[in-house]
Amino acid sequence: MQISSRFTIAIHIFACIETFKEDYKITSDFLSSSINVNPVIIRKLLSQLKSAGLIEVARGTGGTAITRPIDEITFYDVYKAVDLLEDGELFHFHENPNPNCPVGKNIHTALDDKLLKIQEAMENEMKKYTIADVVNDIKKYIEKSK
């Protein structure tokens, strides 16, 4: 199982906005050229990030801006904004285990609390990292490559 690439694309969007905000108008076409995905995907993510209050998108002339300091936007904020969870749960359970099988009958009971703890641990870890961490690392890598 993998978390959708929407999460890493959204992080990439923030890194681009922050890195290029002084030099370029940040549009979905601009972002898609860095991320190398269709601008339609970018627009969908921008809409989700805007709905979460993490960015502002100017209509007409275009342009995108981050609404608060990047050291205050955590990976968890982005994860929640791009709506990666189905019914708030990271793990999707197969729908109809056989109730006549002793394993099928008890699998939910045996796994549910464990999977919830795993999700909580992952989400707590995501709260430790910010967009600023990514942007600062990118700046270091750019400097090293000069």
pLDDT > 50? residue 138: yes
Check: CB of residue 45 under 8 Å from CB of residue 37.
no
Separation CA 117–CA 111 (nearest Å) = 10
Q: What is the pLDDT of residue 12?
A: 97
Q: For residues 48-52, give the mean pLDDT.
A: 96
Q: pTM of the prediction?
A: 0.87
What are the CB-based long-range contacts (under 8 Å, 24+) for 105-113? Answer: none
pLDDT > 70? residue 64: yes
Instruction: Parse the chain into domains and list their residue ranges.
Output: 6-139
Residues 76-115: tens digit of each pLDDT: 999 999 976 766 777 777 778 899 999 999 998 999 899 9
pLDDT band at 2 (very low <50, low <70, confident <90, very high): low
Q: What is the pLDDT of residue 61?
A: 67
CATH architecture classification, 6-139 = Orthogonal Bundle (1.10)
List, in sequence order, every residue forming a beta bridge with 67; answer none if it has no partner: none
pLDDT > 50? residue 1: no
pLDDT > 60? residue 55: yes
Percent of the chain with pLDDT over 70: 94
In the structure, how many helices (H) and strands (E) does the chain have? 6, 2
